[in-house]
Every structure is written in C-alpha cells, then in structure tokens.
C-alpha cells in the first residue's frame, strides 16, 4: 500500500521515511491502514489517496480523501482605535466603526457587541479580501452608529483570537532536567483577553502580558519525569467569551530511573532459601538491570518491565530460591541499572549478614548468700564468647532493663555494671542476656542479692484525727519496710508510754512493716501535747516522728460577774475570757434572741430602762456553742406614759380606763377616785395588730434541683408582720437540727424587701438519690403559722415561662414581659419565637442577659400582626413553648412622617394627572355650588319684596334651568354644597402633599446618603428611648435613626462554640440570578448610575460597580458569585431601585446587579469577653431580623442593643411573608462586661 499526496507517493512502509509526522496506524493483519498526521500545517491541506498494490490477477484499488486545514485569524483590529480607547461624539451625530480580522482560513466572521448585547448582523457591512499570506482571507466589518445619551460610556467589544502555542512541537522528546519555555499568544479581542496555562487540568501560571493587539503568557520550567505525557493547555478568555478558548500539547520526556533498590533479607542463616530483587524505578526508556551476588551472576535471574501511569517504565530483576551455603563471611549483592539512550547507570549495593549463635553468658563479682549493706557499691561483670555477629549483652533487674554498654572484643562480648545498693536490691534478681540475630531466644544467667536496710521513716496516725474532749484516741506508729524488722516505742515528755504491737505485714523488698499503738483519753489538757514514735533495727541509725495532739473542745467561758445592777445613765462593762479548739472563736451577745453586740466585751454606755434584761454570751467554734448569762438591771423612777383622759358612755355600760407606766424595781400601781368604790374595777390587756404569714407560691419557690454530689438550694419566702421564725423539716418530717443533720445548713433568714417579705434558705450538701422528695418549710409569727412543701429533684430541663404579655407596641417594636418558670436547677436563658400572623415561617432570637424578664422585639414591619411565644433553655435542653402565644399589631404609621430611605414603593404614588382632574372637578363643583346657593337666596328675597329689580343674564339662565326641572328641594341643594366643600378640602390636601414631596426631592435625591447623614446615624445610634412604657414619647432624633433601613455595622463572625439548630420546616434561600434585563431595568439603571456618580464626590465612599485591584480588596467581605466585585476599604451605601421589594442585604446579594451595600470595615483587632458573642445558625436569609434590647427598652435605634442569628449573612428589614427568616445573635454591647468599660460603638455588633 502507498499514500500519494498531491501526486507525491509517500511510501509503502508503516513508518514513512522522510516524513516523521506521518504514521500508518491500525492492525495490518485485519486490513486496517489509518494515516495519522501530527502537528498539522497549512502545507498538509490537499487530497490524499490510499492505494492498494495490485496482485495478479487482481486490479489496483484506491480511495481519496480531502484534508482542509483551518486557520484562526492571527489578529483583529478596530481600525483607527486601540483596544480600550475612548471616543467623544455629539449626541445625534453618526459615525462608523470598522473592524478587520486577518489571515484566517476560511474567511473569519465578525460579531459586534454593544456592552454585553450582540448587535444584529443586519446593521453591519462585511467584505472579504485576500490576505497577504497565501491561502488566507481577511474580513472587514463596518457599522454606522447614531449615538444618543444612553450610549454614554458604552463599550463596543469583540472576542479574542484562538491561542497559539510555541516552544514545543508535538511528538518531540525532551530530556529531563532541561529548561523549557512554553509560549501562548492570543491576538485581538476587545478588551484584550486573559491568558492562563494549565497542566493536566490544574492552573499553573496566570502571569500574562497584554501588548497593543495581543496577549502573551510565557511559562518557564525545568522538565521533570512528571512532564512525560503531561497535557499543557492554554486558556484564553475575555468578557465576550462564554467559555475559554483552548489549545493544548502533550509533552514526551526521557528520564533516567529515579532510584535503584535491592530487596532482600538483611540477615540470613546458613541453609535459608531466600529471594532477591533489584528494582529500577520509573524511567523512560526502560532500563537494563543486572543482579550479582559476591561478584557473580547467579543462575535463574529473570527480568520484567512494568509501565507506570505517567508513561515511564519500572524494571525488576529477580532471583528466587537462592540457598545460603556454609560460609564464614557475609553475602554482597550488587545491582546495576543502565539507560543507554541517556548514557546513565545507577548502582545499589547491599550486604546480607549470615548469622551464628554465641555461647551462654557468665556472671562475675558476687557470691549468692553474702549479706550486703544499703549504700555500698558492687561491680558485676557478664561475658559471652563466639557468635556472628558478636552478641549484645543486656542487664535486667527483675523485668526492668538497665542502661549498660557492651564491649565487643575479638571473639567475645563483655558488659560491666556498677550497682549502688538500695533497699530495692534486697532479694532482687539480676539477669544478663546474650543475643544476636542467630538466637531465636536470648541466652541468660542470673544472681540474687541480699541487702540489709533500715526503715526509712515512721508514719503516725491518730484515730480519730481530731478527737473531741471525752473521747478515746488511739495513736498508732507504722514503720516503713525494713530488713530485718524494727523495734518501735512511744515517748511523751521524755517518758516512754507503754503500748502494744499490732500484726506484722510484709513490706517492700522482702522487708517487714511493724505497727505499735497506744491508747489515751482526750481532755482539753492534752491539747497541743507532743507524742514521739521511734524505730530501730540495728542498722546503726534510728528514725522517728512526732505528732502534736489536736483535741477539739467547745469553748470554756469565764465570767467575772453574772449579775450587774446599774442606775440609769451609768456605764456597764462586762469582761469575759474563753478558750476553745479549734479557732476562731466567735463572741456574740444576745438579748431576747436578738444580736446586740459582737466581741469579748459587753460595753453599754449611759444605760437606760430599755437595755435592762438578760444578756446571753454565745461563744462558738466548729465543735459547738457555749453560753453564759449576764443579767443587767437598770434602776429608774416610774414613768406614766399614757392615761385615759375622757370617755363618753351611757349609764349602766362598762368603760375602760388605761394607764401605761414603766419603772424599775417593781412599781406598785393604784387607781384612786374620791368617793368611788374601786372594787368594781378589773384589769384587762390587749395585743397589737399582726399579719399571719402568707407563702410565696411562685414555681421558683416550689421546686429545687441539684446534681448528685452537688448542693441543693431550697428557698422559702413569705410575707408577714411582725417578724417570723422558720423551721425546716426533712422529707421524713423530722425537724432539721444542723448539729445532727450535718449535711444540712440553714442560712439566717433575711428581710428581702425591707418591708414584710422574709426568706430562708436551706442548703442540702452532697445530694444523693435519697434526698429527692418534698421538704417542709414551717413559718410562724405571733398570729399563727403556715407551711409549704418544696420538692428537691435532679437537674432537668426548665419549665415554660409564665404569664407572657405585651406591655407596649410602637410602629416597629413590641415590648414583651413574662415570669420565669422553674429553671431546672441550672442557669437558664430565654428564646423568643415570632412570625407574621398566618405565615408558616418563624424567627428565633436568644435573649440576654439571662435574667431578663422584659424584652423589646424591634425592626418589625409597619401595620403587621405578629404572633409571639417564648421558650426557656438550660444545659439539659429546652422547655415547651408558652402554652398560649400573644399577638400584637404594630402601628400602621411611623411617627417620623416619611419612610426610611430604600423602602419607598410605587404603591403610594398618585399620578399628577389624577390630581389635576380632581382639582378641576372640585373647582367646577365649587362654582356650581356657589351659583345654586346664590339663586336660592335671591328667590327667597323676591317672594318677600315687591318691585324686584330685573334679573341678570346668569340668573335668567339658572331660572330657565330651574323652570324646566321644577323646584329643587333644599336637601339636594345642601347635599351638593357639602360634597363640593369636601372635594375642595381634599383638593387642598392633595396639592399640599405634591408640593411637600417635590420640596423633599429637591433637598435630597432618593437613595443618596451624605457624609452628614452617616455621621448622624453613627452618633444617634448611641441614643436610647427615654420611656420604656410609652409608645408615643419618643426622642425624635433617636427615632429617626431607628426608622432608617440602613445602618453602619461591623461584620462579626461568631465562634462555633454557640450553635443553635434551625427548625426543620425552614426553606432554603432563593437561588441567585445574574440575568440582566436591560429593557425592564433601563430606567432604574440610569438612576443607579446617577446615584453612583454622585457618591464619587463624597470623600471616603466608593461603589461596588467597579472592579478594584486585588491588593485593595478586604478579605473581610465577599459578595459571593463567580465574578467577585470586591468591597473598597471605605464606607459605601446601597442603591435600592424604586418599586423593588429587595431588602438591603449584607454578606450575600440575592440580586447581584443591585451590587451596592453599606458597611463599616472591621477594626484591626477586636477583643471580646468570652460570652460576648452568642451564635445560632439558620439555613436561610430573611429580609429583616428585628433588633432587641435585653434590658426591656429600645436602646437608641433598635439595632444598638440587638440580637439575631443568621446562617451566612446579616439582613435588615421587617420579616415578610414570602421571605425565609434569618437568625443572628449578638450579646449585649452597651453593658460593661465583667466590670470592664463600655465597648466602643466601633466594636459593637449590630443586627441589620
């Protein structure tokens, strides 16, 4: 067969001589003869024939095929204009643009674009002409344009040319470790394209250079084995290409093996059958491998090759079943890997050790049975001879390996060990092991030492540790282990105290532990006495320890006087002393159960009758309380304080006369009346007014909870007058006596409100399951008593909050209040859930601080009805939501008169034509009304008078109309008059609204935020409402900021340690669309361009409509999407088109062509308290989260102290029925944390 091309016979061989790019492929035996041409050039264009040589008697056969080589244009040019240049033309003047694409085959097609919109071909004139290059074509395209104002700053663009790769010819072979440069060039394109290099689908180079009419990217690298069969791609793209234009090459590389390894056992025994392999790792072409053992090639060596994934080859030479013969030397293995085309050879050498076992070891330096003494040093030696390799020697003490060295001599190994004898060496077995690779189990020898050692110390124990006076105490002295055993004795003040030996115990290291005890009766006199224990076993040293006896006893009080009498006005001083253990001692003086003084001395100056009585001195320590009474008597003359002066009674009735008196000593009282029989009198008494105790029945005082082993706190609270006495009972109805029930502690009762509310607290320590149940609290005063049961249980999830109410409602906020339920024994916090009524999506917000019982939900929509419910949360979980939710409707009108910027809609606009029509109709009705009224009154006047003056022309016309219609009733006339008047009033109001709106528009264009406005927002965000209970009493400036729809914020990323789950019914956020509808949005785009241009004149502000250098982009913010529009480091504002329901969104752009947002950049470093930021997460984004104040009042604008949680963005606005909700939680930022200073506003978190 041969392949003639353009009547030139290429040849009959499958490798065509002289044409390296031409190769015949396929299975010749099956009759497949395909022609492959690599690196097609323009010269290959033409007709090809496959001819079959005729064989007698067959005739020749042939088939033809045409190859057409396509060439992209080498460059494209906008005639007379460089890429990216600008033209200045007058609106309405026509001009032409001409584009030329050169050197293509076939003739190229040219497409014009206005911005991103393709211009119809009917508007362009295309002509083809021959190129200066052979067999190529040029195309010229011309368009004529009559620009208008909407063509200002419009870019006319075209696609770039296909990439061209130079620096490597497909099929060439490159040697590894050489330097290579690949060049990719793309011609034309407006704007000029970006050119990137990819290797095997991974981007490797983005450094391209744009020239006048083309872009080039040169990739320089050192060729390695990884480049073999690697696919290098060049991608070219600009804004006109929907997909990158690509061109690629596949490189072939020759490289030597990266490594040569011998695989075999490191050590063998005589007679072992082993396998040895030599591996030459990846190379191209494959290497030749040779394997030698002791300088000779053993019989049975085989070689095989494996292809690697990157196009190289691995060559393996292997010999299996090699038997190790008797020898006194080791085996030497050599491996050689040669690569002839590269002229390289790599070698690996390995020594295989042939093993022989040594002789058993021998120990020198100690004869068993010899008694040694602790502290002596002994040298032991171990020796083993023979073996290949020479053995390693190891010393063991018991099972512990000791750190020693092995000295290897000509034919033996020796190891020396020096032992400083310790008590642990008594009975210790020392073992020496000898081993090498030929010994399956080590060879060993042992010796056991005998060492004498004294007790290292004694341990003194007292039972009980702190005996109380009157108790028996046992003092026990235990020695540490000793060999032989020790003798023990007790001593006090130099005299030996007899005792008894306890049972002996086996000690460490084959020693003995000795115990010796004495018995004493504890008295206060033995307190601080010293008892000493001594032990000796004949080693030559003794050991001892002493203990100071600590006897606890209640205080012993000494009083000089037990009764003191003093006259009124004198001073009284009572001196006391007391002794007790342990200290401190607390001295308290009481009178009638009331504490009057603390301290050792009772000092009363200028006594009077009120201080007389019995004073009790209580001295308390940990053991108990001792009491002594001191009677203080005050002598003073009797005093009558009150006498009944006059009473009016009926004859025969009883009368009571009162005489109130005081005096000491005893006062004798006598009633007298001249000439009256006093035997008819009797003495009566009466009691003052009291109030029986009333128990607080809140759930907080009905339950208590604690973890097992923790402390339970039970609170009993009552209202009563006069003061009360609390008595606590166990769940077994036993009165609690803290001296008996040591795990219970009753804290002193307190007056909690300085009026009549008392509280007592019972602490249950080390709570167990047996403590769970009802405890009884009994409260008594002079009028009576009452009881309440308090249930103690394990910690649980909290109970639902109670009595949820709405206290106040404004146009965008609701104030909630509630009563906390039982907290389950753990700290709890609350979460509010709310939704627009009849919607199916909820918003969730965590409430801080944790003890808040009022909460402002702000940022709500105007005139919307919301449904609120509350849940309590602690570490154990969540409670149920409140049984009944509450509903509230925000005010339908804002107190600020205008809607916030960005929230205006077309719905409220009234067309000017309607206003004009209503005005004209109102004026006509007014004129008609005036005419009817005038006619009515003139007719009445003519009926009363004669000789009436003649009628005017207007009156005659009205009279004719009235004559034809008959008499018009007065009611109709009044109705027409009233309607006309009302229409006039409506007309005046509408005209006023139009004038007011135009005046506002002239002052400030919609959607524009000036520097003064932003400054006002920043300052006013620190203000707060002044009245939490009033919906009408607003601070006007603060309210103005609260009504705004956009605020300066900080973007804060919450730590993952606070994570709340989103409800399962919440839907995912809507998908993102990047479509640009020019016709529908044309008017809004013009307004947005005008808006952005206006911001260019405001220092410190930027817009998102422009691409900024990557070096100036803050990593803090990302608008998402494939084409990133970075946010400048200055503040910026959002443009929201009129009529759009899109909310201002931070962190994500639901509509990327509304690509503005307002932010304040992150401070360089923020330091927040641990619990400052709390975070929950939601899967959705909502237009509005509402802001909250934990104190129960709005703080400045509602966003100042707000909490909300959101999954990936922060949003601003009221929740809409058709938008999914978001949740973002921030801790309070206006309350000092941990006693610190208030966090600056620049470092606060705000919900937007």
Distance of alpha carbon 313 from alpha carbon 284, whole angstroms:
6
Same-domain status, 351 and 392:
no
Model pLDDT for residues 1227-1248, shown as the tens digit of each residue: 344 444 444 444 443 333 434 3
- Tell me, yes or no, whether 598 lies in a domain: yes
Cα distances (angstroms) measured from residue 528 to each of 471, 492, 532:
16, 12, 13
The last residue of one of the domains, among 746, 774, 793, is 793
Minimal CA–CA distance to 322: which of 293, 287, 363? Answer: 293
Contact of 1081 with 1153, CB cutoff 8 Å: yes
Same-domain status, 435 and 486:
no
Model pLDDT for residues 204-247, shown as the tens digit of each residue: 988 899 887 789 999 999 998 888 888 999 999 887 788 888 89
Sign of CA dihedral 237, 238, 239, 245: negative
Contact of 217 with 191, CB cutoff 8 Å: no
Model pLDDT for residues 119-178, shown as the tens digit of each residue: 776 678 888 888 888 888 888 888 888 888 777 777 666 677 788 888 888 878 888 888
Within a 10 A sphere around the Cβ of 332, how many other Cβ atoms? 13
Q: Which residue has the higher pLDDT, 923 or 348?
A: 348
**3-state class (DSSP) for residue 1111:** helix
Mean pLDDT confidence for 454-476:
92
Looking only at the bridges linking them, the beta strands covering 594-598 and 602-604 are unpaired
**3-state class (DSSP) for residue 1010:** coil
- Tell me, yes or no, whether 106 lies in a domain: yes
The boundaries of the domain holding residue 753 are 691-793
The last residue of one of the domains, among 427, 452, 477, is 452
Asked whether the predicted pLDDT for residue 1140 surpasses 60, the reply is: no
Mean pLDDT confidence for 854-860:
92
The confidence band for 938, taking pLDDT boundaries of 50, 70 and 90, is confident
Mean pLDDT confidence for 660-681:
76
Asked whether the predicted pLDDT for residue 651 surpasses 90, the reply is: no
The confidence band for 1132, taking pLDDT boundaries of 50, 70 and 90, is very low
| pLDDT for 963 | 52
Question: Residue 465, exposed/middle/buried by CB under 10 A (0-12, 13-18, 19+)?
Answer: exposed
Mean pLDDT confidence for 997-1013:
47
| pLDDT for 1247 | 40
**Whole-number average pLDDT of the chain:** 74
- H-helix or E-strand spanning residue 871: strand 865-874
Q: Which residue has the higher pLDDT, 868 or 538?
A: 868
| pLDDT for 1107 | 36
Contact of 3 with 19, CB cutoff 8 Å: no
- Tell me, yes or no, whether 1025 lies in a domain: no
Asked whether the predicted pLDDT for residue 201 surpasses 70, the reply is: yes
Same-domain status, 584 and 538:
no
The last residue of one of the domains, among 317, 334, 355, is 355
How big is the CA angle at 809 (ends 806 and 813), to the nearest 5 degrees? 105
Q: Using omega within 30 degrees of 0 as the cis cutoff, is the peptide bond preceding 1206 cis?
A: no
Model pLDDT for residues 236-289, shown as the tens digit of each residue: 988 778 888 889 998 888 888 888 999 999 888 888 888 999 998 888 888 888
Same-domain status, 163 and 250:
yes
Sheet holding 164-166, edge to edge: 164-166, 179-187, 214-222, 209-210
Within a 10 A sphere around the Cβ of 236, how many other Cβ atoms? 27
Cα distances (angstroms) measured from residue 982 to each of 43, 561, 975, 987, 1056:
93, 102, 11, 9, 64
| pLDDT for 235 | 93
Q: Which residue has the higher pLDDT, 1226 or 974?
A: 974
Q: Which two three-digit tokens encode residue 1083?
A: 């008017």
Same-domain status, 170 and 250:
yes
Asked whether the predicted pLDDT for residue 656 surpasses 80, the reply is: no
Same-domain status, 701 and 765:
yes
Same-domain status, 582 and 607:
yes
% of the chain beyond a pLDDT of 90: 26
Asked whether the predicted pLDDT for residue 1022 surpasses 80, the reply is: no
Total of domains in the chain? 10
Mean pLDDT confidence for 454-483:
92
| pLDDT for 1060 | 38
- Tell me, yes or no, whether 474 lies in a domain: yes
Residues 6+ apart with CB under 8 A from 681: 671
Same-domain status, 819 and 876:
yes
Distance of alpha carbon 77 from alpha carbon 258, whole angstroms:
50
Q: Which two three-digit tokens encode residue 809?
A: 């409602």
Q: Which two three-digit tokens encode residue 332?
A: 């030497």
Mean pLDDT confidence for 1208-1235:
38
Contact of 447 with 368, CB cutoff 8 Å: yes
Q: Which two three-digit tokens encode residue 342?
A: 């590269």
Same-domain status, 22 and 98:
no
For residue 994, report the phi and psi dihedrals to the nearest 5 degrees.
Answer: -65, -45
- Tell me, yes or no, whether 222 lies in a domain: no
Give residue 1238's Cα distance to chain centre.
23
**3-state class (DSSP) for residue 754:** coil
Asked whether the predicted pLDDT for residue 1021 surpasses 90, the reply is: no
Model pLDDT for residues 774-811, shown as the tens digit of each residue: 999 988 876 667 889 999 999 999 999 999 999 999 99
Mean pLDDT confidence for 935-949:
63
Distance of alpha carbon 261 from alpha carbon 346, whole angstroms:
10
Same-domain status, 562 and 602:
yes
Look up the CATH number of the domain holding residue 116. Answer: 2.60.40.10
Minimal CA–CA distance to 1101: which of 1153, 1151, 1048? Answer: 1048
Asked whether the predicted pLDDT for residue 593 surpasses 70, the reply is: yes
Looking only at the bridges linking them, the beta strands covering 625-643 and 563-567 are parallel
Model pLDDT for residues 442-456, shown as the tens digit of each residue: 999 999 999 999 999
- Tell me, yes or no, whether 483 lies in a domain: yes
For 611-711, where are the E strands, in sequence order?
613-620, 625-643, 659-664, 691-695, 703-705
Model pLDDT for residues 87-106, shown as the tens digit of each residue: 878 777 788 888 888 888 88
Within a 10 A sphere around the Cβ of 885, how many other Cβ atoms? 15
% of the chain beyond a pLDDT of 70: 71
Mean pLDDT confidence for 1195-1203:
36
Question: Residue 964, exposed/middle/buried by CB under 10 A (0-12, 13-18, 19+)?
Answer: exposed
- Tell me, yes or no, whether 1035 lies in a domain: no
Q: Which residue has the higher pLDDT, 1052 or 439?
A: 439
The confidence band for 675, taking pLDDT boundaries of 50, 70 and 90, is confident
Asked whether the predicted pLDDT for residue 316 surpasses 70, the reply is: yes
Q: Which two three-digit tokens encode residue 1152?
A: 């990327």
Same-domain status, 236 and 316:
no
Distance of alpha carbon 567 from alpha carbon 236, whole angstroms:
115
Minimal CA–CA distance to 123: which of 149, 156, 155? Answer: 156
Distance of alpha carbon 72 from alpha carbon 620, whole angstroms:
107
Same-domain status, 544 and 557:
no
Looking only at the bridges linking them, the beta strands covering 691-695 and 124-130 are unpaired
- Tell me, yes or no, whether 1171 lies in a domain: no
| pLDDT for 1143 | 37
The mean-pLDDT minimum among 20-34, 519-533, 1187-1201 falls in 1187-1201
| pLDDT for 13 | 63
Residue with tokens 């409506």: 986
For residue 503, report the phi and psi dihedrals to the nearest 5 degrees.
Answer: -65, 140
Distance of alpha carbon 352 from alpha carbon 332, whole angstroms:
6
């Amino acid at each position: 067969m041969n392949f003639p091309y353009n009547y030139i016979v290429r040849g009959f061989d499958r490798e065509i001589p002289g044409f390296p790019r031409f190769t015949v492929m396929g299975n010749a035996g099956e009759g497949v003869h395909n022609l492959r041409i690599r690196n097609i050039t323009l010269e290959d264009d033409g007709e090809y024939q496959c001819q079959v040589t005729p064989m007698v008697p067959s005739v020749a056969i042939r088939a033809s095929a045409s190859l057409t080589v396509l060439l992209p244009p080498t460059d494209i040019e906008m005639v007379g204009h460089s890429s990216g240049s600008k033209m200045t033309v007058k609106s309405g003047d026509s001009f032409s643009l001409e584009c030329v694409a050169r050197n293509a085959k076939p003739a190229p097609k040219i497409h014009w674009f206005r911005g991103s919109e393709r211009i119809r071909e009917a508007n362009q004139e295309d002509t083809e002409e021959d190129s200066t290059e052979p067999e190529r074509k040029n195309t010229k395209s011309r368009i004529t344009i009559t620009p208008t104002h909407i063509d200002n700053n419009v870019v006319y663009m075209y696609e770039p040319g296909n990439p061209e790769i130079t620096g490597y010819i497909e099929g060439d072979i490159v040697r590894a470790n050489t330097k290579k440069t690949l060049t990719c060039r793309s011609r034309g394109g407006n704007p000029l394209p970006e050119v990137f290099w990819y290797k095997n689908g991974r981007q490797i180079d983005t450094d391209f250079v744009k020239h006048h009419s083309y872009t080039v990217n040169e990739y320089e690298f050192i060729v390695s084995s990884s480049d073999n069969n690697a696919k290098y791609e060049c991608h070219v793209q600009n804004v006109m290409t929907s997909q990158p234009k690509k061109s690629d090459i596949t490189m072939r590389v020759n490289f030597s093996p990266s490594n040569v390894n011998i695989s075999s056992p490191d050590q063998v025994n005589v007679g072992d059958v082993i396998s040895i392999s030599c591996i030459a790792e990846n190379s191209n072409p494959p290497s030749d491998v040779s394997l030698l053992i002791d300088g000779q090639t053993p019989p049975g060596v085989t070689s095989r090759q494996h292809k690697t994934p990157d196009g190289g080859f691995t060559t393996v030479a292997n010999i299996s079943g090699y038997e190790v013969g008797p020898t006194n030397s080791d085996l030497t293995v050599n491996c050689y890997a040669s690569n002839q085309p590269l002229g390289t050879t790599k070698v690996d050498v390995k020594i295989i050790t042939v093993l022989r076992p040594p002789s058993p070891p021998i120990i020198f330096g100690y004869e068993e049975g010899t008694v040694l003494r602790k502290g002596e040093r002994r040298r032991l030696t171990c020796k083993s001879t023979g073996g290949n390799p020479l053995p390693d020697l190891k010393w063991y003490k018991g099972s512990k390996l000791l750190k020693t060295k092995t000295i290897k001599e000509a034919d033996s190994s020796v190891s020396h060990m020096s032992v400083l004898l310790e008590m642990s060496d008594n009975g210790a077995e020392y073992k020496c092991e000898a081993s090498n690779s030929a010994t399956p189990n080590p060879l060993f020898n042992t010796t056991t030492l005998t060492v004498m050692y004294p007790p290292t110390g004694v341990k003194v124990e007292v039972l009980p540790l702190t005996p109380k006076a009157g108790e028996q105490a046992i003092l026990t002295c235990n020695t540490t282990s000793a060999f032989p055993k020790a003798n023990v004795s007790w001593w006090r003040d130099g005299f030996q105290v007899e005792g008894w030996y306890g049972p002996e115990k086996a000690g460490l290291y084959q020693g003995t532990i000795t115990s010796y005890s004495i018995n004493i009766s504890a008295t206060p006199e033995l307190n601080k006495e010293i008892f000493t224990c001594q032990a000796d076993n004949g080693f030559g040293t003794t050991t001892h320890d002493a203990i100071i006896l600590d006897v606890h006893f209640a205080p012993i009080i000494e009083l000089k006087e037990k009764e003191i009498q003093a006259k009124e006005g004198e001073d009284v001083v009572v001196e006391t002393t007391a002794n007790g253990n342990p200290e401190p001692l607390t001295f308290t003086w009481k009178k009638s159960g009331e504490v009057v003084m603390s301290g050792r001395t009772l000092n009363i100056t200028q006594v009077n009758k009120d201080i007389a009585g019995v004073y009790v001195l209580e001295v308390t320590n940990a053991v108990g309380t001792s009491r002594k009474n001191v009677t203080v008597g005050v002598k003073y003359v009797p005093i009558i304080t009150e006498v009944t002066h006059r009473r009016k009674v009926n004859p025969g009735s009883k009368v009571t006369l009162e005489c109130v008196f005081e005096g000491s000593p005893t006062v004798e009282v006598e009633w007298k009346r001249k000439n009256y029989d006093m035997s008819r009198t009797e003495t009566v008494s009466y009691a003052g007014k009291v109030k029986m105790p009333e128990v607080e029945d809140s759930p907080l005082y009905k339950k208590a909870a604690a973890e097992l082993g923790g402390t339970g706190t039970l609170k009993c609270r009552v209202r009563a007058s006069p003061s009360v006495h609390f008595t606590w009972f166990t769940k077994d109805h036993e009165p609690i006596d803290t001296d008996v029930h040591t795990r219970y502690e009753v804290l002193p009762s307190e007056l909690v409100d300085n009026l009549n509310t008392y509280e007592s607290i019972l602490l249950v320590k080390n709570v167990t399951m047996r403590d769970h149940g009802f405890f009884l609290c009994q409260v008594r005063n002079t009028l009576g008593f009452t009881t309440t049961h308090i249930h103690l249980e394990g910690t649980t999830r909290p109970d639902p909050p109670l009595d949820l109410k709405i206290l106040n409602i404004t146009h965008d906020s609701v104030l909630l209040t509630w009563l906390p339920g039982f907290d389950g024994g753990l700290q709890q916090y609350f979460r509010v859930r709310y939704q627009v009524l009849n919607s199916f999506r909820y918003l969730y917000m965590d409430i801080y601080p944790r003890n808040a019982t009022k909460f402002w939900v702000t940022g709500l929509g105007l005139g919307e009805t919301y449904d609120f419910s509350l849940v309590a949360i602690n570490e154990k979980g969540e409670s149920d939501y409140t049984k009944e939710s509450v509903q509230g409707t925000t005010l339908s009108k804002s107190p600020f008169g205008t809607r916030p910027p960005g929230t205006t809609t077309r719905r409220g606009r009234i067309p000017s034509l309607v206003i004009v029509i209503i005005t004209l109709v109102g004026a006509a009705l007014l004129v008609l009304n005036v005419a009817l009224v005038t006619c009515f009154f003139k007719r009445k006047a003519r009926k009363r008078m004669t000789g009436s003056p003649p009628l005017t022309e207007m009156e005659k016309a009205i009279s004719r109309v009235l004559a034809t219609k008959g008499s018009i009733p007065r009611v109709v006339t009044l109705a027409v008059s009233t309607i006309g008047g009302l229409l006039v009033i409506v007309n005046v109001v509408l005209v006023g609204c139009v004038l007011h709106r135009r005046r506002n528009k002239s002052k400030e264009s919609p959607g524009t935020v000036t520097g003064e406005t932003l400054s006002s927002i920043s300052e006013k965000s620190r203000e707060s409402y002044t009245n939490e209970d009033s919906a009408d009493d607003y601070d006007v400036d603060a309210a103005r900021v609260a009504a705004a729809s956009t605020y300066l914020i900080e973007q804060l990323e919450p730590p993952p340690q606070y994570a709340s789950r989103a409800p399962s019914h919440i839907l995912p956020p809507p998908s993102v669309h990047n479509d640009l509808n020019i016709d529908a949005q044309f008017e809004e785009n013009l307004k947005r361009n005008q808006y952005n241009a206006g911001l260019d004149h405001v220092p410190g502000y930027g817009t998102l409509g422009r691409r900024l250098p990557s070096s100036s982009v803050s990593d803090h913010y990302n608008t998402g999407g494939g084409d990133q529009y970075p946010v400048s480091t200055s503040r910026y504002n959002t443009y929201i088109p009129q009529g759009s329901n899109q909310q201002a969104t931070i962190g994500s752009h639901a509509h990327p062509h509304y690509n503005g947002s307002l932010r304040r950049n992150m401070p360089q470093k923020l330091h927040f308290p641990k619990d400052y930021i709390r975070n929950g997460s939601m899967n959705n984004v909502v237009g509005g989260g509402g802001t909250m104040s934990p104190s129960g009042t709005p703080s400045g604008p509602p966003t100042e102290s707000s909490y909300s949680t959101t999954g990936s963005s922060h949003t601003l606005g009221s929740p809409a029925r058709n938008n999914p909700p978001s949740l973002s939680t921030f801790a309070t930022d206006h309350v000092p944390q941990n006693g610190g200073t208030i966090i600056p506003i620049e470092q606060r978190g705000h919900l937007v």
